[in-house]
Structure 1
Amino acid sequence: MFAAIKEQHKGVDVCINNAGLAHPEPLINGKTSGWRNMMDVNILGLCICTREAYQSMKERNVDDGHIININSICGHCVIPHADTHFYSATKYAVTALTEGLRQELRAENKHIRATSISPTLVETEFTLRLYSNNPDIAAYALEAIDISSAVTYVLSAPPHVQIGDIQLRGTEEVS
């Protein structure tokens, strides 16, 4: 993927890590394969894309790039829904990885910014699949445009402003 980006566009200036995966695999009886799959997508995939985006910026002397991780509110609190506890652990990792990236970029004396955008449920196939037994959940879900608006906001911040994390919840959401 990054080779094609380099060939077609010279490289990456902005990377938005938006891949995310959840399986209903509780901690006390979940399947290892489901946990591994979530780790591979939610953590390892994000780290690989982050590394490759940074390397692309570094080799082209891009010092004003941005890496945005689409996280989850589950990266900040554990909701009382057993099927999402392992997923929450992967998203807590994204929270830590975003801050770790910010620290590493600072240590490298780079002005590349790192941001985590943490929405609650978003009306997507992901949410509908995970909560198929609760069709009323969509009433509290954000829309995809809400997330893209947050991305636009982050990217429009002045170069001297580091937005570390944005948490997005619906105004009608209970918790």
Structure 2
Amino acid sequence: MVSDALEGDVALVTGASSGIGAATARALAEEGAAVALAARREERLEELADGIKSDGGEALVVPTDATDEEQVREMVEETVEELGTLDVLVNNAGVMLLEPVAEADPENWQRMLDLNVQGLMVASQAALGHMQEQGSGDIVNLSSVAGRKAYAGSSGYNASKFGVTAFSEALREEVADSDIRVTTIEPGAVDTELAEHIPDEDQKEQIEGMMDEMEPLRPEDIARSIRFAVTQPTHVDINELLIRPTRQEL
């Protein structure tokens, strides 16, 4: 059922092929936004787009490697060219490669920095020009509870997510004299594919054990929070949302 809170708006969601990204794309489409879907897995994006369209929404598939600066800038330009504008950017693409410092592969650190931070920063910069020209817009950046609290075994991921949180606040201050809003979303434990890619088996088992001991958040829980932030009146900027499962202690 499509409502009209975002009728006429265009939203671009990265990491839209699964999890929080896919749920967010559906939630924004339900509010009336035309949604550009970006990720590497084109087949999954096409399936998501078909579902949105069958529910009465509008969706554009934009296959993108968010670690490639040229592709990220082209992603933004294609969204504007095909859908006419860009009102909401949700930087959701990310990876969590947990390893102790002494045993970590520096290539995994670099991968997290390239995707979680650099890709997000480039997308924000590319979108910002369009939003400044039209005088409004929302940039929503996915950080994490790991962007507030450091954990043993999570140093590289912590560094990337602390970076997202810091970048987002600096950007918010830079555009505070306009109607461009910046929101940082900081999820705790969410039932997504993220943990499947953890290279360290001890860290992977620890995360899986933590998830088994509680009812984790669902991607739709985070999507509702993003929808809440971007549907506020123009003078209201939800700067940060830290969202944990009720039974998550840390």
TM-score normalised per structure 2: 0.64
Q: Deviations over 1:89-148 (max 9, x none)?
A: 110011101100011112xx3110000010002101112443642433333321001100
Partner residue in 1 for 2:87: 13
| Amino-acid identity (%) | 30
Quick one: which of 137, 140, 165 aligns to 1:65?
137
Q: How many residues align?
A: 169
On the 8 A contact 1:113/1:162 being kept in 2, the answer is: yes
Counterpart CA distance in 1 for 2:150 and 2:87 is 33
Structure with higher RCO (Cα < 8 A, 6+ apart): 1
| Structure 2 residue matching 1:28: 3-state secondary structure | helix
Three-state SS of the structure 1 residue aligned to 2:168 is helix
Is it true that 1:95 corresponds to 2:95 in the alignment?
no
Question: Residue 119 of structure 1 is aligned with which of 172, 187, 191?
Answer: 187
- Note if contact 1:121-1:127 (Cα within 8 Å) is conserved in structure 2: no
1:30 positional shift = 1.4
Q: Secondary structure at the residue paired with 2:247?
A: coil
Spell out the pairing of 1:16-95 with structure 2 (5 A cutoff): 16-59=90-133, 61=134, 63-79=135-151, 81-82=152-153, 84-95=154-165
Q: With the length of structure 1 as denominator, give the TM-score of the two structures.
A: 0.89
| Most deviating of 20-29 and 63-72 | 20-29
Conservation of the 8 A alpha-carbon contact between 1:75 and 1:94: yes
Residues 25, 35 of structure 1: 8 Å contact kept:
no
CA contact (8 A) 1:26 1:85 kept: yes
The structure with the greater share of residues assigned to strand is: 2
Q: 1:2 aligns with which of 60, 63, 76?
A: 76
Cα deviation 1:27-75 (Å, max 9, x = unaligned) = 223122111111100110000000011112223x2x2310000110000
Q: Which runs of 5+ in 1 are unaligned?
A: none
